[in-house]
Structure formats: structure tokens, C-alpha cells
Amino acid sequence: MSQSTPGSITGAGSASFTPPTRRLMGPGPSDVPARVLAATARPTIGHLDPAFVGMMDELKELLRYAFQTANDVTFPVSGPGSVGMETCFVNLVEPHDTVVVCRNGVFGGRMLENVRRCGATAVVVDDEWGTPVSLDKVEAALREHPEATLVAFVQAETSTGAHTEPGPLVALAHEHGCLTIVDTVTALGGCPVKVDEWGIDAVYSGTQKCLSCPPGLSPVSLGERAVRKVQDRTTPCQSWFMDLGLQLGYWSSGARTYHHTAPVNALYGLHEALLILREEGLRAAWERHRRNHLALAAGLDAMGLSLLVSERDCLPQLNAVVIPEGTDDAAVRTYLLNEAGIEVGAGMGTLAGKVWRVGLMGYSSREDNVLACLEALEAALQEQGRTVTPGRAAEAAQRVYAG
């Protein structure tokens, strides 16, 4: 019997990996335009190279446009949206703080976990999954806990497809002397995010959703009040890597100090993705997401399917479709993937097995994707023995586009 040399590569894994072509219509990542993929393949240069430093300044300005803010502290953290979340919490929350955490889905629950790991006291405001955060419940919590210093909530809850309007919640928090942390991971680029107009103190997002960039970076932005809170800390930030006092030395516009080796090529991709967003224009992007959502919803309705969230509170970029009774959740998703090359997401937490999460994010939010998804879903439901009229869903969607 022959033996391979220790450390040698044989058999599986010895050839370059070629991924299959998919339509990414789940909760993320989304389809990435060829322009962005090409940008990531450009020559790598040093992360302190003057040319790269100039690109970093452009990147910060492009992010300010996306966030609709003039905040100087606006930059991408090296890591996915969860790292952006932790960056905000570990810098703004100290062990003696009381934080009101709004939980109406999985990602509100992750905010809560961050508060607990910071050693702070959490006051939890729970709302039913699939509904927005209740302003009245938050107000009651703030009245009951005048010692609270911060309110945290998710604008676009990826686990349910529910949208919470940030403006009123931020205003309420400020009335009670609290700062705000807002999760816009799925919101940014797909629906209005207006950091300055709403007065958000700290916000974070991700690149792999409506910005249509590969995963791995998390844009954050902090206003003056949040920066003062960071500067006035009485305890050290519990994370060395995410300590803004150190990160900002690297992302400052002046002489940069070494902090870590930035993901150079990933930042090329984000720069290109933000250029594409600016070329389209924010309002046009928001409208595109809305129009494709309405077409998808019309097609689903024609199939007898419904969305978990009411139209008034529904995210255009993330649609939680209620699975009909007696339908095999996994079988439908497997059919879509294997027969049509379409990826949709499963339900999370209490919604596992109850919804499919259909994403229309960024470059994935296109008419051809909507029509392909509806056609494939009709076929998948027929495989499950449901009575479906082929083509009816697409016709309903086309009427929306025509209208």
C-alpha cells in the first residue's frame, strides 16, 4: 500500500475551487456585480502605501454618503457586521451602565448578548417577531429606568423582515438623555438610513447585504456625543482590536499609525460597490428595492402565499414568506437551489420551519431575479402536491412593473 508524504496534497482539494453560479436571494450575501469582483482582483499594495491611504479617505467619504452623515468617525471595521456590532457596544457600554435593548428578532437578541458581555445591566423590551419595536414600550422602560444611558435597536430585522422606523425611537431616547446604537446591517443601501437627520449616535452595517460587496467588512459611524462617551470612559475598552481609540489612529485623515493589516483587496471592493451606489443614487436604489418587493409580493399572493410582516412594516429587501401548512420547508429550498440555482434562506429561531427568507438586496434586487424566483417557487410547490397555476405569479409581478 502506498503512503502519501506527510504534508502532501492528494485527491480532494488538490484542484482550484470553482464555485457554482447562484442567484443569491437569501438573507445575505447578495449577488456581487462583476465590477466589484474585478476590483477585488487588482494588485495588492501595502496598507500604509500612500496610494492606499488616499483610497481610504475616498472610502470614508463614500460611506458618509451611504449613511447620510457628516460624521468624521465613519469607516469600515475589518470583520463582518457582527464585528461592527461589537465595536459599537464595547466602546460605548461600560459595566456600570444600564442599556435598554429592543428585541423583536434574532439580532436584537445578539445586541442583548453584547450588553451582558460588557458587564452592563440590560433592560429588555420585547416585541412579537414580525412586528416593529414598540415606541410605547420603550418609553415605559425609559420612565421605569431613568438611570439608562443607551437605547439599542435593529432598524431592519433580518430574521423576520420587519422594519422599525428609527427617527421616533432616537428622538425618544434623546429626550431621556440616552445615546442610541442602531443596527442597519440589512438596511443600508436598501431603504432610507439618515444618520444625521435622525440624530443616530452610533450605527453599524455590513457589506454583504444591500451594498452588494463580498462579506468581511462592517461600516460604522459615530456622532459627536458617542465620541465623547468613548473619550470619557472610566474603564478600558474590553477589546484591544475594536478599541476605537486605537482604530481611529489608523483611519484618521492625518498621519496614520499602524494598528492591523487591513484587508486591502476587500476594501478595493467596498470602494467600488459604494461608487456604484453613488452612481445610481440613494433614492433610486431605495425605489428599486421597493418596486421589486412589490412585484415579488404580488406574485406570492397570486400563488396563495403571504408575508409574515404587514406591508406597512415590511422590509423591501428581506421578505419572510409564510410556509403553507403541510409543505416541506427544506425540500422546497433544496429544489430551488438544485433545479434553479436560487438560494433562499430558512427561518431562524422561533421562525425555523415557518418561513422562507427571500432577499432582494443590492444587485440581487432585479426584475429577472424576481421572475425567476416566482417561476421556480411555483414548480417547487407543484412538486409538493400544491395546486399552482404556472405563470400566474409572473403575470402578477409583471403588472406591478408595468404599472
Nearest to 235 by CA among 337, 368, 96, 126: 96
Q: Are residues 186 and 313 in the same domain?
A: no
- For residue 8, being part of any structural domain is answered with no
Last residue of a domain, one of 230, 260, 278: 278
Provide the whole-model pTM.
0.95
Judgement on whether residues 181 and 69 belong to the same structural domain of the protein: yes
Task: Clarify whether residues 180 and 224 are in a common domain.
Answer: yes
Query: How high is the pLDDT of residue 85?
Result: 98
Q: 24 lies in a domain?
A: no
Tally of structural domains, the chain: 2
- 318: in domain: yes
Tell me, yes or no, whether 120 and 255 share the same domain.
yes
| Per-residue model confidence (pLDDT) at position 251 | 72
Domain end marker among 263, 278, 293: 278
Is 14 a member of any domain? no
CA atoms within 13 A of residue 72's CA, in its CB half-sphere: 11
In a domain, 17, yes or no: no
d(CA 59, CA 74): 9
- Whether 117 and 199 map to the same domain: the answer is yes
Residue 1 pLDDT: 47
What are the 10-residue block averages of pLDDT along the chain, 403 residues in total?
A: 55 82 97 98 93 93 98 94 97 98 98 98 98 98 98 98 98 98 98 98 98 97 96 94 83 71 95 98 98 98 97 98 96 98 97 98 98 98 92 98 94
In sequence order, what DSSP letters do the residues of 38-107 get, joined into one string? HHHTSPP--TT-HHHHHHHHHHHHHHHHHHT---SEEEEEES-HHHHHHHHHHHH--TT-EEEEEESSHH
Please enumerate in sequence order all residues whose Cβ is within 8 A of that of 50, keeping only pairs 6 or more positions apart, or say none: none
Q: Return d(Cα 123, Cα 197) in angstroms, integer.
A: 27
| Pair 59, 140 in one domain | yes
Q: CATH number of the domain at 40, please.
A: 3.40.640.10
- Range of 204's domain? 34-278
pLDDT on residue 51: 93
Q: Is residue 132 part of a domain?
A: yes
Last residue of a domain, one of 260, 278, 296: 278
User: Got the DSSP string for 126-172?
Assistant: E--TTSPPPHHHHHHHHHH-TT--EEEEESEETTTTEE--HHHHHHH
In a domain, 21, yes or no: no
What pLDDT does residue 259 have? 79
Q: Is residue 393 part of a domain?
A: yes
CB 193 within 8 A of CB 186: no
Predicted pLDDT of residue 258: 75
